[in-house]
């Protein structure tokens, strides 16, 4: 490991296991050694000869180039490994440059509370990203951009510039989420989805079974949503279900006939929250 920073030993007051940071040059193989015999990180061979910054603690290792985080992986380092790095010239580090990697239990990544993970991917010139070894179309408009993908086993959301740019059925099952390359813990709420201009919206209260009905179509949301009042965004081919600013489901629209029942009233619904709309009908049909 080619450490460039001059020696700077940790002081006696440093907390055991505190983060360290150092610079290293990527070898021709692209396999960057963080701590010999303990952890290395594979980078693309095109990175050979480049000078990168490594930030490491007991949970995460981040590799940055020119101020941009390229890789985040779970740390396999022990407190004595961090001390060893400090003795070899690593300096005491500041705040982490990116969100932490997933926590591990007995060496196995575990899902955070809420069951969602985030990964960063670069969009190819064909508008695709790769998740768990399989390509997924995000859109040609985002070619060359980096997007954040949030997956919860049911839906996959694409985020860029703090805006939700797309939602699809999740291509990875819940039990495999923690093993996705580069998976980390989400630290911010999901951005609100943009609503199409003039889009029609309907309110529904989730039944005790975790289902709602819109236009004669039953949508299963799950028992954890029962009792909630949700908003259904009615698009040409899809129905999007929101609770507040959170998108909780997307379903193909099976019946394209007009939907007349747009508002729901009853226990738990404040009639004053209803807004007058020329499309608001009193029909009891869905």
Residue with more model confidence, 278 or 256:
256
Among candidate residues 33, 8, 12, the one with its CA nearest the CA of residue 20: 8
Instruction: Report, as an integer, the average pLDDT of 75-94.
Output: 91
Q: Tell me, letter by letter, the H, E, C secondary structure of 96-141.
A: CCCCCECCEECCEECCCCCCCEEEEEECCCCCEEEECCEEEECCHH
258: Cβ–Cβ under 8 A, 6 or more apart, which residues? none
Residue with more model confidence, 252 or 15:
252
pLDDT confidence bin for 120, thresholds 50/70/90:
confident
Residue with more model confidence, 151 or 11:
151
The predicted model scores a pTM of 0.45
pLDDT confidence bin for 276, thresholds 50/70/90:
very low
Instruction: Report, as an integer, the average pLDDT of 139-147.
Output: 85
Residue with more model confidence, 196 or 226:
226
- How far apart CA 152 and CA 277 sit, in angstroms, is 35
The answer to whether residue 283 scores a pLDDT higher than 80 is no
- How far apart CA 19 and CA 243 sit, in angstroms, is 39
At residue 275, the pLDDT reads 40
Among candidate residues 14, 52, 10, 17, the one with its CA nearest the CA of residue 31: 52
The answer to whether residue 125 scores a pLDDT higher than 60 is yes
The answer to whether residue 11 scores a pLDDT higher than 90 is no
- How far apart CA 84 and CA 77 sit, in angstroms, is 10
């Amino acid at each position: 490991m080619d450490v460039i920073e001059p020696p700077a030993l940790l002081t006696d007051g440093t907390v055991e296991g505190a983060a360290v940071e150092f610079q290293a040059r990527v070898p021709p193989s692209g396999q960057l050694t963080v701590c010999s015999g303990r952890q290395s990180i594979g980078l693309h061979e095109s990175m050979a000869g480049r000078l990168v910054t490594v930030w490491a603690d007991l949970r995460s290792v981040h590799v940055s180039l020119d101020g941009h985080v390229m890789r985040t992986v779970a740390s396999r380092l022990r407190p004595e490994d961090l001390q060893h790095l400090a003795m070899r010239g690593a300096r005491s580090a500041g705040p982490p440059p990116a969100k932490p990697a997933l926590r591990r239990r007995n060496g196995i990544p575990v899902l955070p509370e809420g069951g969602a993970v985030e990964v960063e991917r670069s969009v190819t010139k064909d508008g695709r990203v790769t998740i768990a070894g399989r390509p997924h179309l995000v859109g040609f408009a985002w070619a060359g951009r980096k997007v954040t993908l949030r997956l919860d086993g049911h839906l996959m959301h694409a985020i860029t510039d703090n805006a939700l740019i797309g939602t699809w059925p999740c291509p990875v099952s819940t039990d495999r989420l923690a093993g996705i390359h580069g998976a980390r813990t989400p630290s911010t709420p999901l951005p609100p989805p943009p609503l199409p201009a003039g889009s029609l919206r309907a309110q529904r209260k989730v039944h005790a079974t975790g289902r709602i009905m819109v236009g004669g179509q039953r949508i299963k949301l799950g028992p954890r949503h029962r009792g909630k009042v949700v908003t259904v965004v009615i698009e040409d081919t899809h129905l999007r279900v929101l609770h507040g600013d959170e998108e909780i489901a997307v379903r193909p629209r099976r019946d394209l006939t007009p939907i007349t029942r747009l508002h729901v009233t009853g226990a738990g619904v404040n009639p004053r929250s209803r807004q007058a709309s020329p499309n608001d009908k009193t029909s009891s049909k869905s």
